[in-house]
Amino acid sequence: MICFVVPGTPVAKGRPRVGRSASGHVRTFTPARTVAYEGLIALAGQQAMAGAPPIEGAISVTAFAHFPIPKSWPKKRLAAHADKPEYHLGRPDGDNILKAIGDGLNGVIWRDDSQIASAQIVKLYGETPQLVVMVRQL
């Protein structure tokens, strides 16, 4: 099993944007925030692989997205959170976080994200915002 942590608040895969070039041609591009976060995921994945070749065959991906605890939470809620984790129900959507992981790790941990046969995302509030990714060959 390969396990690694991507520091910072998890970012979802952004929708492709469409714009016109100076010559008037229509072009499609990925938002800069998405490109940067996918690069951060790829870097963490490369460090976890330590030079090993990408996995072949079916794989399973499990991700734990830890979001920062809102400053507006009252002390009573913070105390309850210490005993039992609280799920993050807002945006970004879990499936879009998985898309960013899939695209960021193409050619790094796996050849192509079409190899993902099983995927799970758990969104939680946590003391440290981070994305924990676990990859297992099936």
- Per-residue confidence in pLDDT tens, the chain, 138 aa: 999 999 999 999 888 788 877 787 888 877 888 889 999 999 999 999 998 999 999 999 999 999 999 888 888 888 887 778 889 999 999 999 999 999 999 999 999 999 999 999 999 998 899 999 999 999
What letter would DSSP give residue 32?
H
34-38 long-range contacts (CB < 8 A, ≥24 apart) are 34/100, 37/11, 37/100, 37/104, 38/13, 38/100, 38/103, 38/104
pLDDT at 122: 97
To which CATH superfamily is domain 2-137 assigned?
A: Holliday junction resolvase RusA (3.30.1330.70)
CA–CA gap between residue 46 and residue 111 (Å, rounded): 13
* Residue ranges covered by each domain of the chain: 2-137
Q: Looking at residue 31, what is its pLDDT?
A: 83
Burial class (CB in 10 A: 0-12, 13-18, 19+), 28: exposed
Q: What is the number of other CB atoms lying within 10 angstroms of the CB of residue 71?
A: 5
pLDDT at 79: 82
